[in-house]
Each structure stands twice: as structure tokens, then as C-alpha cells.
């Protein structure tokens, strides 16, 4: 029988909220609940989010004070109905119970939490169920014994299934509830790519590896050095800026991989008085700069931002959207006047650093944004933060 419209809204709201609550979580702030629903593409507006939340309230899945046309005005108490169990999930849970009946090291909640792995096991062969359960018990024992010696990929691959990605792809909350202590795992070794001459006049931290490649190739004859994050191959750019920031703020220096030239040791590069940052001109890119400067106070914005600023002020740039890879970049604030002005400038549109070509990179590579702004006429588009 087809669901009524209100039941459909309640079911969708229930599905979305279930994705964003922790195991055992029973309350939620009203603003957070509305935001989660609004951000889902199937809802997309605060008005629809409020309607979906009201439908869920009418179904009895949450309790709160409610004001018409405003929505929830008090802390939400959650009582979400459990999702329907399919025949295949029921078969998995039954198989887990059978496997555990033959083990002596089973804890009271093991059957339930291992059953909760199901969303990631819909294509897992039944013949491998016992091997998977055995692997997880072995991991639980190993992660509770001795010192930290392995990264997640290594620990995941050492068992009989020999899969390095198993731990990272199974539901983390269920694995933690099962008793896997992820804090016992080492972080993977951080790497950065470096390039440049032995006595650079400037050192530039680059957010994305492909922009690094263009810059390093275009400036082989110039006294400038470049540093970028490395991860899973040069073409894997997702999250590269965050990896770079993590490597720079870490108390242990990352491992440098020399792309070209003969740059100085990484410690010398990061202590260089003309240490610059060049990344995407968007909210996340500026936050990456802000994060790294907390660890390296002498870090400055590169002059390579200047033509990107020009393009934004001329009406160019792209929106924050799924199709541009920027669907959910959060707003943030800073007391730094220049960075605050840039955040305001890119509030609605952004520029990716790969937009700049080799000629512009060669011309601006060794200067700070402040130097370029100071040399411009006060009415120039480059005179930011003034």
C-alpha cells in the first residue's frame, strides 16, 4: 500500500537523521536537525525541512516544543523507529548468531553490532561470513594488546582476508561498538612533494598537486621552491589541502619526496622567511591557510591570489555546488582583516587555483599578496583588507 504524503516525508526525515546521529544518541538541537534535512538534496529548503520534521513529529519519532511557522524551539528528544529489516539483512543477522554460538569470546552486544555492519555487506558472499567475523575478533584482540605498531591499512591487511581497506570501509560506529580501538592505530606516514632550487628566495605551499606540477615545471629556472601534499598518487587531489595542513601542523615533519631540482631540507624550507601559501580562493582554502599559519606564524598569502581576486571582482568564478565539488563549505570568521575580506569576497563564488597558467605563476611566484597590494593604486581591485 502506498504511503501517504506525510508518511513519505516522515520516512525521508527519519532516514536522513539516522545517518547523522551517534549510536545511543537520544537528543538533538533543533537547528542541527533542520540543517541536516535542509542540506539533503531531496529536501533543499528550510521550509521543506520544517515540514519533513513536523511529519516526523506527528509520527511520534521525536518530542519537542513546536511553534507553527517556526518549528522546533526546544531540545529534540529522538525516538526514531528502527529501519525495516530486509530478508537479506535478516539472513545476515541469523548467520552471525550461528557463527557466534561456536565462539567462547563473545561479549553481550557482539551479535547486534556485527549485524549492524550489514549496510556495507550487501554484496558480501555468505561463504565468507565466518572468515569476516573471525577477522574482526582477531583485530579486536590485536588492537587491545601491546603498543601502537600499525596503521589502519596495515592492521586491516594482516589477517587472513588480506584486505587493507576493510577497516576503513566498514561502518566505523559499529566497529567501535564491537570494541575495535582505533586509537591504537598509527596515523599513516605523511608525505609532501617538494621541488625547486637549492637557494630559493621564496617557498610556496600549494594546496593541490596538479597546481604544484604546473608551478614546479614553469619555474625550473627561478629561485623558488614548492611544497604540496602527496596522497594515493598525483591524480588523487581530493582532500590534498587538508593533508598538507595536517602535515605542516604535525609535531613530526612529513617525509619529503623531491619532484625536481635540489631543494634544501624540509625544515629549512618551512622556516624560510618568505614562506607563502597558494590555494583555492574559497572558504575551505582560506581555512587551510589559517590552520597552517597557527603553526607557522610567518606564513603569508602568495601574490598568486591577486589575479584570482581580480577574476572574482570582475564577476567570474563558480558557485558552491555539487557540480563544482564544493557543496557544503561552511562559513567561518577571523579577526585577520585581509583574510576576513577574502572570506567575504568568496562568500558566494570561488576560484580554483588551477585557473592560473604558467606565465602568471612565473611573474608572481616569489611575492606576497601584501607586496602586490601595497604597490597597487589604493583604488585597485588588489587593495584588499583596506
pLDDT tens, residue by residue, 206-249: 988 889 999 999 999 999 999 987 644 333 345 666 667 776 76
Indicate the length of the chain as a whole number: 386
The set of cell numbers assigned to 20 is: 547523522
**Per-range mean pLDDT, top range of 185-189, 297-301, 346-350:** 297-301
Dist CA 346 CA 356 (whole Å): 17
Count of helices and strands (H, E) across the chain? 17, 13
Sequence ranges of the domains in the chain: 5-78, 87-184, 191-375
Kindly report which listed range (41-55, 128-142, 228-242, 256-270) carries the lowest average pLDDT score.
228-242
How, if at all, do strands 202-206 and 275-278 pair?
Answer: parallel
What pLDDT is recorded for position 239? 61
Whole-model pTM?
Answer: 0.61
What pLDDT is recorded for position 197? 93
Of all residues in the chain, the percent with pLDDT exceeding 90 is: 54
User: CA distances (Å), 276 to each of 11, 196, 234, 250, 377, in order?
Assistant: 50, 14, 22, 18, 23
Pick the CATH number of 191-375 from 3.40.1360, 3.30.450, 1.10.3470, 3.30.200: 3.40.1360
How, if at all, do strands 224-229 and 202-206 pair?
Answer: parallel
3-state secondary structure of 287: helix
Question: pLDDT averaged over the chain?
Answer: 86
The set of residues, in sequence order, having a beta carbon less than 8 Å from that of 97 and lying 6+ positions away, is: 111
Kindly report which listed range (85-94, 128-137, 213-222, 372-381) carries the lowest average pLDDT score.
372-381
Amino acid at each position: 500500500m502506498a504511503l501517504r504524503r506525510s508518511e513519505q516525508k516522515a520516512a525521508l526525515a527519519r532516514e536522513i537523521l539516522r545517518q547523522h546521529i551517534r549510536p545511543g544518541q537520544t537528543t538533538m538541537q533543533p537547528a542541527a536537525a533542520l540543517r541536516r534535512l535542509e542540506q539533503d538534496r531531496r529536501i533543499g529548503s528550510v521550509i521543506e525541512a520544517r515540514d519533513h520534521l513536523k511529519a516526523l513529529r506527528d509520527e511520534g519519532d521525536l518530542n519537542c516544543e513546536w511553534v507553527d511557522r517556526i518549528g522546533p524551539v526546544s531540545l529534540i528528544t529522538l525516538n526514531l523507529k528502527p529501519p525495516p529489516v530486509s530478508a537479506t539483512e535478516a539472513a545476515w543477522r541469523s548467520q552471525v548468531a550461528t557463527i557466534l554460538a561456536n565462539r567462547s569470546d563473545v561479549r553481550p552486544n557482539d551479535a547486534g553490532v556485527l549485524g549492524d555492519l550489514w549496510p556495507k555487506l550487501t554484496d558480501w558472499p555468505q561463504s565468507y561470513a565466518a572468515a569476516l567475523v573471525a577477522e574482526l575478533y582477531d583485530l579486536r584482540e590485536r588492537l587491545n594488546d601491546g603498543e601502537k605498531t600499525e596503521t589502519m591499512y596495515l592492521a586491516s591487511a594482516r589477517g587472513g582476508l588480506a584486505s587493507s581497506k576493510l577497516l576503513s570501509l566498514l561502518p566505523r560506529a559499529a566497529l567501535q561498538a564491537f570494541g575495535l580501538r582505533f586509537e591504537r592505530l598509527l596515523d599513516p606516514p605523511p608525505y609532501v612533494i617538494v621541488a625547486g632550487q637549492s637557494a630559493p628566495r621564496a617557498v610556496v605551499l600549494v594546496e593541490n598537486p596538479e597546481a604544484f606540477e604546473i608551478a614546479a615545471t614553469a619555474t625550473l629556472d627561478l629561485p623558488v621552491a614548492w611544497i604540496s601534499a602527496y596522497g594515493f598518487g598525483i591524480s588523487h587531489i581530493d582532500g590534498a589541502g587538508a593533508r598538507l595542513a595536517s602535515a605542516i601542523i604535525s609535531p613530526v615533519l612529513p617525509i619529503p619526496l623531491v619532484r625536481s631540482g635540489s631543494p634544501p631540507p624540509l625544515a629549512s624550507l618551512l622556516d624560510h622567511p618568505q614562506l607563502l601559501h597558494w590555494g583555492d580562493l574559497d572558504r575551505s582554502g582560506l581555512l587551510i591557510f589559517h590552520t597552517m599559519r597557527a603553526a607557522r606564524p610567518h606564513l603569508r598569502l602568495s601574490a598568486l591570489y591577486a589575479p584570482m581576486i581580480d577574476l572574482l571582482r570582475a564577476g567570474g568564478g563558480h558557485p558552491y555546488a555539487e557540480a563544482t565539488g564544493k557543496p557544503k563549505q561552511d562559513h567561518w570568521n577571523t579577526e585577520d582583516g585581509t583574510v576576513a575580506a577574502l572570506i567575504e569576497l568568496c562568500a558566494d563564488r570561488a576560484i580554483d587555483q588551477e585557473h592560473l597558467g604558467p606565465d602568471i605563476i612565473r611573474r608572481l611566484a616569489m611575492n606576497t599578496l601584501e607586496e602586490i597590494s601595497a604597490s597597487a593604486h589604493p583604488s585597485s581591485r588588489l587593495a584588499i583588507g583596506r
